[in-house]
Amino acid sequence: MIALHTLFIVSIIVEYVLKGQPNIDWLFLAIFLTVLSFKFWALSSLGKYWNTKIYRVPGVYPVKKGPYKFLKHPNYIEVVCEIAVIPLVFHLYYTAIIFSILNAIMLTVRINVENKVWAS
C-alpha cells in the first residue's frame, strides 16, 4: 500500500511536468476539499481505533458512529475518491485512471482480509 501511494505521488509529479503544468480545475479542487472533510469525519469517528494495520483487539467491535453508522468502509470510499479526484484537479487523466484501477484491486484484497478478520 505504501508503494502504491508513493508511486501515485511520483506519477502526479511526472504527469504534471510532462503536461506542462496544467491549470487547476477549481470544481475538482472543491470536490477534493469535500472529500477531505469526509475523511476527517471518518477518521475522527474511529478515534483511537484508527490504524493502518489489520488486526482485531479481543472484546472490541467495529465502530458504529459517524459515517460508520451508514457505511461499512467509509474511509476506503474516501480513499477511492481521493485517488480519482486529486489528479483531476490538475487534468492528469492517466494518473487518475491507472491508479484508480490499481487502488480498486488493492482495496478489494484489503477489504476481504479485513472482513475475514472481523468475522472470526
Q: Pick 62 or 24 by higher pLDDT.
A: 24
d(CA 27, CA 30): 5
Say whether 6 sits in a helix, a strand or coil: helix
Distance of CA 93 to the CA centre of its chain: 17
Mean pLDDT (the chain, rounded): 92
pLDDT at residue 115 tops 90: no
d(CA 43, CA 51): 9
pLDDT at 41: 95
pTM recorded for the entire structure: 0.85
DSSP H or E run through 67: none
d(CA 76, CA 79): 5
